[in-house]
Amino acid sequence: MKITLSVLKADIGSIGGHITPSKKVLERVEDYISTEGSGALLDYHVAHTGDDIAFLLSHKLGKDSEKIHQLAWDAFKEGTQVAEEQGLYGAGQDLLKDAFSGNVKGMGPAVAEIEFEERPSEPFLFFMADKTEPGAYNLPLYLAFTDPMNTPGLILSPSLGKGFKFRILDVEHTEADKIIELEAPEDLYDIAALLRDNGRFVVDSIYSVNSGEQTVACSTTRLNKIAGKYVGKDDPVALVRVQKNFPATGEVLAPYKIGHFVAGFMRGSHHGPLMPISQEDTISYFDGPPIVSALAFSVSDGKLTEPVDVFDNPFWDDIRKKVSRKAQDIREQGFSGPAMLGYEELEYGGITKRMKKLEDEFVIED
């Protein structure tokens, strides 16, 4: 059966700062999705990581379906009402427009969608990250889909050995999607040259060269570019179909052991290491660290199994300790050098005004 998996994600308010949505908000949005979505959806799952709520929706309406996007938008609106009633912080913050206009892209919520013919067994991973940006997935995806040191399947499996096509977006270009298609391993160094710049070039999707099937879809929204000012970090979601023609679940998860430094963290204005966490974990140190969760599912005729929380394993406890140390290491240098982001990426305009004022006070001496 041909189905579409759509993930739509937004921060519509949270308890105690930018920590977590309330149970009441989660109940309201889930109730809305289940009642109003009953005609259109084959199945759904409502998840949250940090202060973001994501709907995983399975249906037959294809990508960019107005019905599906409207459903998610209206559910976020419903949840925002509860967030406002409860005095949650940043209620409705990712809903940048007043009225829905056909597709949530460009309206604030992040979107990742894949349409595919289900394989006899269809396992996939659903990633959510908080206190970071879409480019946070660049390195893990690069390693999982191009590097045999991480993914033995690239040399062991004939189909994986044919490589993968990357579609990479230049997020600086906001008038329309500006995309380049490159294939690994042939274009490996070009892919690396782009993906090193997490703030500008972002993996949009990945396809098997062998079968042409899509394996990865990532959200690429940069809200500040849409709003013309900084309105929050663009905490990204991603879907990755795994096994058989694609890397194995464990090959896709393995790169998260690095705890690589990404943009985000406190006030969306610092570098911090990405910590793989369980669904139950929360935001704490320095409004972070940047976190990523992953849920594994199988799907058949559009029906989802229950999720498996794949970073909830003793192996990752050790990684979390390492990431905590890395977070402390970079935090020891406060605002200095690479600890804080460059001017372009800072979430606040205040420093630009301060620099302007200082610029006027500088004198050029003979």
Other beta carbons within 10 Å of 318:
10
**Nearer to Mg ion among residue 50 and residue 276 (C-beta):** 50
Give dist(CA 184, CA 241) in Å, integer.
18
DSSP, res 336: S
Pairing relation of β-strands 291-300 and 275-276?
parallel
* Interacting partner of 287 out of Mg ion, ligand F6R, none (Cβ under 5 to 8 A depending on kind): ligand F6R
Total binding residues toward ligand F6R, as defined by CB under 6 A: 13
We find the least distance from the C-beta atom of residue 91 to Mg ion, in angstroms, to be 11
We find the least distance from the C-beta atom of residue 8 to Mg ion, in angstroms, to be 14
3-state secondary structure of 18: coil
Contacts of residue 313, Cβ cutoff 8 Å, sequence gap at least 6: none
Q: Residue 268 has which token pair?
A: 């969306």
**Nearer to Mg ion among residue 20 and residue 208 (C-beta):** 20
Query: Residue 89 catalytic?
Result: no
Asked if 18 touches ligand F6R (CB under 6 A), the answer is yes
Query: Residue 239: how many CA atoms within 13 Å on its side-chain side?
Result: 29
Residue type, 246: F
Give dist(CA 206, CA 165) in Å, integer.
6
**Nearer to ligand F6R among residue 223 and residue 252 (C-beta):** 223
Asked if 290 touches ligand F6R (CB under 6 A), the answer is no
* Interacting partner of 259 out of ligand F6R, Mg ion, none (Cβ under 5 to 8 A depending on kind): none
The catalytically annotated residue of 9, 11, 165, 256 is: 11
Task: List contacts with Mg ion (CB under 5 A).
Answer: 11, 18, 50-52, 130, 235
Whether the CB-CB separation of 329 and 338 falls below 8 Å is answered with no
Give dist(CA 116, CA 16) in Å, integer.
40
Residues 187-216 binding ligand F6R (CB under 6 A) are none
Asked if 270 touches ligand F6R (CB under 6 A), the answer is no
Angle at 33 between CA 30 and CA 37, to 5 degrees: 155
3-state secondary structure of 289: coil
Q: Residue 361 has which token pair?
A: 């006070």
We find the least distance from the C-beta atom of residue 348 to ligand F6R, in angstroms, to be 7
Query: Residue 233 catalytic?
Result: yes
The catalytically annotated residue of 230, 257, 309, 312 is: 230
Residues 29-68 binding ligand F6R (CB under 6 A) are 50-51
Indicate which single residue of 131, 241, 326, 331 sits in contact with ligand F6R (rule: CB under 6 A).
131
Q: Which residue has tokens 């406060």?
A: 334
Whether the CB-CB separation of 12 and 277 falls below 8 Å is answered with no
We find the least distance from the C-beta atom of residue 245 to Mg ion, in angstroms, to be 33
Whether the CB-CB separation of 151 and 160 falls below 8 Å is answered with yes
Give dist(CA 340, CA 268) in Å, integer.
9
3-state secondary structure of 258: coil
We find the least distance from the C-beta atom of residue 51 to Mg ion, in angstroms, to be 4
**Nearer to ligand F6R among residue 203 and residue 346 (C-beta):** 346
The catalytically annotated residue of 165, 233, 244, 326 is: 233
We find the least distance from the C-beta atom of residue 212 to ligand F6R, in angstroms, to be 36
Q: Residue 87 has which token pair?
A: 């005095």
Residue type, 319: I
Query: Residue 230 catalytic?
Result: yes
Residues 220-249 binding ligand F6R (CB under 6 A) are 232-233, 235
We find the least distance from the C-beta atom of residue 260 to ligand F6R, in angstroms, to be 18
* Interacting partner of 115 out of Mg ion, ligand F6R, none (Cβ under 5 to 8 A depending on kind): none
Q: Residue 41 has which token pair?
A: 């959806």
Which residues are designated catalytic?
A: 11, 230, 233
Q: Which residues bind ligand F6R (CB under 6 A)?
A: 11, 18, 50-51, 130-131, 232-233, 235, 267-268, 287, 347
